[in-house]
Structure 1
Amino acid sequence: MGSGLITKTDKPLLTLLRVGRIQAPEAVAATDILIADGRIAALGRDLAIPSGWPIEVIEARDLIAVPAFIDQHVHVTGGGGEGGCGNRCPEISADEIAAMGIATVVGVLGTDSISRSPPDLLAKVRGLRAEGIAAYMYTGAYRVPPPTLTGDLQRDLAWIPEVIGLGELAISDHRSSQPRQDEIERLVSETRVGAMLAGKRGICHFHVGDGRRGLEPLRRLLAETEIPADQVIPTHVNRHRALLEEAADYALAFEACVDVTAFDEVGEEDISAFEAVSFLLEHGVPAERITMSSDCNGSLPEFDAKGTYLGMRVARNTALIGDWQRLVREGVLPLEQALGLIGANVARVLGLQDHKGRLTVGFDADITLIDDELQPRQTFVAGKCLYHDASPS
């Protein structure tokens, strides 16, 4: 089961997926997906293809087709460095991304924007694209003023297609530049205008540390300026209980979105993504305003009360899928809504909702085939199969 029997003709230009069912993310009656030129050309049942057409037919009747997952926070060039050059995390590969059912990633720089720079990040993003992954990036890093590609934040957004926002800008963290409120407001405004010139959403992706100020800088930003809430995305809001409680209040007060990190090893204060999403939902935050991301290949450093480095682990993206699966298995959310946490909600946040996050005609053919246990078995990006698990279900 799940082997995906493939029948090929010479140089196929079309792909036909025949699956057990389709969640688009809502359930649809179709069981066939026709792919042409990297996009979904048709949905239906028992679609007939004229004899002689150059087509690849993939039989996966025991699998469920869902929108391929989107991870908006990935250290694609590796993070780390808090303990010196010997503590840099490795890069991530296209295979590691696709194996988790993920088709789209957004690359970030973190603490280290010296040995790893925006040009390095752009090169890695373009490398992932060459391997088939739909990859984007944030310009900037933890520090202020943010490092850029062109020397100007607005130019990065306006002229570099892969740049979709600013991030991860650090607040409430001893590793941040301790930006003043007026600096935060100026950077968000610059990002907004540069993105407008390019027709992008231009979000500001904020790393939130465990400092006592929490989300206060973002609350002031939205309360005291004209910046809309959908311009600002705080991440790592599940570092500890007080921050998560503040995140729930923030999301409700400003009708804002918050991003939960899927920690692969939960520490003494960290809250798992499963528990965090459950908490937010219980406190009235709509599922549509919650997203999940992995922070994979970033560092998970440990510091003492004085900020002295003690050690670190490297984050992986396996917890993202594991926590998401648990939300469905334990009935916290139905599959349709749960898919939004790593699909449609993320596409909307990033401004990609007109071609990603749904299985519908005209959208990118980014499709993950999952089994009854919700495990990714095949991943297609723009119609190309990048991952195929042929082991029995």
Structure 2
Amino acid sequence: MLLIKNTNVYTPKFIGKKDIFICNGKIACIDDSISINLPNLEVIDAKGAVAIPGLIDKHIHITGGGGEGGFKTKVPELMLSSLIKGGITTVVGLLGTDSTTRSVENLVAKSYAFREEDISCYAHTGAYKTPVPTITGDILKDIVFIEPIIGIKLAISDHRSSSVTKNKLAKIASAGRVAGMLSGKSGHTTLHVGDGKKGLEIIYEVLNEYDTPITFFQPTHVNRNKELFKQAMQFAKDGGYIDLTCYGGERAPRYMVKKMIEENISLEKVTMSSDGYGSYSSYDKDGKLLKMGVSSVEAIYDELVNFIKDGFSLQDALPFVTTNVARSIGLAHKKGQIYPNFDADLLILSKDFSIDYVIANGKILKDNKGYIKKGTYENI
């Protein structure tokens, strides 16, 4: 049991200074003043601090990305402490280019490992290519019967993808939708969008001919270039989710959100993710690899702080990494808010927005005395 006293609470809406009582991994009560005398109750006096929901990152390569430059360029698996330092309490793991030396089985096993280490972790079946790699041999069965799997990963408009056809994309998305209906999961298809000329066109080809709702197509990396983002703004206008990757410079999510505000576009279906532990790469006109690096999982929290520095209020910036994300992946009933009966995932921030405490499923994974929980093999 845990009692947080005197903290300024953003649910993500600001509700003032409150006490928060946590029991059995859930938020049991939020009130102006809570007085409880119980054995084994831990109390945090958070006077002057801010409490926000734990961040949800829907796009992290938890088993490592990369590999486009040969075996030595395979990114290693993500370790627990990196998630904690980034304030991430819920993560969705997925594959990328490499589904040959990596597998959906690896991904699900890593998801279970993070769960054992107190992080809420989910996964996608699939990768860049078609036929979609699965565990059971069937997209529907993967989502329905394998608990951590909530959706599908696929790539479009990218020279590393399998150049999926309109009909095949429609079948894949439909399988996810039906699986979601049967299992109570989101069943959406996360679409990696590359720099290809067609951008989101193939999604509209499916929407114009088939009946799958637009919300089951969730394109990511849509701020990678100007033309693609123009398409993404129209996609958002049409009611679809778009996911902004934490790029730096003029492509940063905060600048994209400002453009959407200027265009009077609703922000309710805009999410932000790190693409953490995925490799970023550039190629010449002949397809030769020129440069590559690794994305940080801490980028999502850094960008949240940049939103604040750039004039956004905290309550206006938080939905992009909390409530909007929870809704997009079918977890809005228990994730993304500081609210009674929700999972006790929250961050306590100091006045300078550094992270003092990370609490996931009611357990303290980081505190203001320097403690950070390490993964099983991080202490060796």
TM-score by structure 2 length? 0.94
Secondary structure (helix, strand or coil) at the match of 2:147 reads coil
- Secondary structure of 1:137's aligned partner: strand
Aligned to 2:179: 194
1:46 shift after superposition:
2.5
Cα contact 1:95–1:387 (8 A) shared by 2: no
Following superposition of structure 1 onto structure 2, how do residues 78-93 of structure 1 map, counting pairs within 5 Å?
A: 78-93=64-79
- 1:326 pairs, out of 296, 301, 306, with 306
1:282 paired residue number? 262
CA distance in 2 between counterparts of 1:281 and 1:114 reads 42
- Asked if the contact 2:143/2:176 (under 8 Å) is kept, the reply is yes
Give the Å deviation of 1:159: 0.3
2:242 maps to 1:223:
no
Counterpart in 2 of 1:336? 315
What corresponds to 1:136 in structure 2?
A: 122
Residue among 92, 107, 110 paired with 1:124: 110
Q: Does residue 315 in structure 1 map to residue 285 in structure 2?
A: no
SS in 2 for 1:61: coil
Which amino acid counterpart does residue 24 of structure 1 have in structure 2?
Answer: T
Aligned to 2:32: 45
d(CA) in 2 for partners of 1:372 and 1:339?
16
Q: 77, 80, 90: which one pairs with 1:94? A: 80
Q: 5+ residue gaps in structure 1?
A: 1-13
Output aligned runs, 1:129-278, within 5 Å.
Answer: 129-167=115-153, 169-252=154-237, 254-263=238-247, 265-266=248-249, 271-278=251-258
Q: How does 1:61-76 map to 2 (within 5 A)?
A: 61-76=47-62
Do 1:29 and 1:44's aligned partners in 2 also have CA atoms closer than 8 Å? no
How has the CA–CA distance of structure 1 residues 96 and 19 changed in structure 2, closer, same or farther, with 3 Å as cutoff? farther
Percentage identity across paired residues of the two chains: 37
Q: Give 1:30 shift.
A: 4.8
User: SS of the residue aligned with 2:62?
Assistant: coil
Q: Deviations over 1:64-122 (max 9, x none)?
A: 11111000000000000111111101211111101111100000100000111001111
Structure-1 separation of matches of 2:352 and 2:242: 27
Q: Deviations over 1:126-148 (max 9, x none)?
A: 11111111000011100011110
The whole-number CA distance in structure 2 between the counterparts of 1:260 and 1:390 is: 34
- Give the 4+ runs in structure 1 shifted more than 4 A: none
Taking the aligned partners of 1:283 and 1:172, their CA distance within structure 2 comes to 26
Give 1:384 deviation, angstroms: 0.4
- Indicate which of 288, 293, 297 corresponds to 2:273: 293
Q: In the TM superposition, what whole-angstrom CA distance separates every residue of 1:12-56 from its partner, at most 9, and x where no partner exists?
A: xx1111143101111124521100110000011231113x43311
Contact 1:30/1:43 (8 A) holds in 2: no
* 1:228 positional shift: 1.1
CA–CA distance in structure 2, aligned partners of residues 164 and 232 of structure 1: 14
Instruction: Verify: 1:359 aligned to 2:305, yes or no.
Output: no
Q: CA deviation at 1:378?
A: 1.1
Partner of 2:282, secondary structure, is strand
Q: Are 2:93 and 1:114 aligned?
A: no
Report the Cα distance in structure 2 between the residues aligned to 1:29 and 1:211, rounded to whole angstroms. 47
Q: Distance in 2 between matches of 1:66 and 1:282?
A: 27
Contact 2:56 2:322 in 1 (8 A): yes
2-structure distance, mates of 1:389, 1:116: 37
When the two chains are superposed, the root-mean-square deviation of aligned CA atoms in Å is 1.4
- State the SS of the aligned residue for 1:17: strand
Question: 63, 86, 95: which one pairs with 1:77?
Answer: 63
- The normalised TM-score by structure 1 is 0.91
Q: Match of 1:195, as an amino acid?
A: G
Size of the aligned set, in residue pairs, is 370
> What is the alpha-carbon distance in structure 2 between the residues aligned to residue 40 and residue 242 of structure 1?
43
8 Å contact from structure 2 (residues 82, 298) kept in 1:
no
Q: 1:277 offset after TM fit, Å?
A: 2.2
Aligned positions of 1:24-39 closer than 5 A = 24-39=11-26
Which deviations, in whole Å up to 9, do the C-alpha atoms of 1:191-247 show, x marking residues without a partner?
111121111111100000000000001122223221112211100001111111111
For structure 2, the residue ranges without an aligned partner over 5 or more in a row are: 371-380
CA shift in 2, pair 1:375/1:279, >3 Å: farther
- Structure 2 CA distance for aligned equivalents of residues 389 and 113 of structure 1: 40
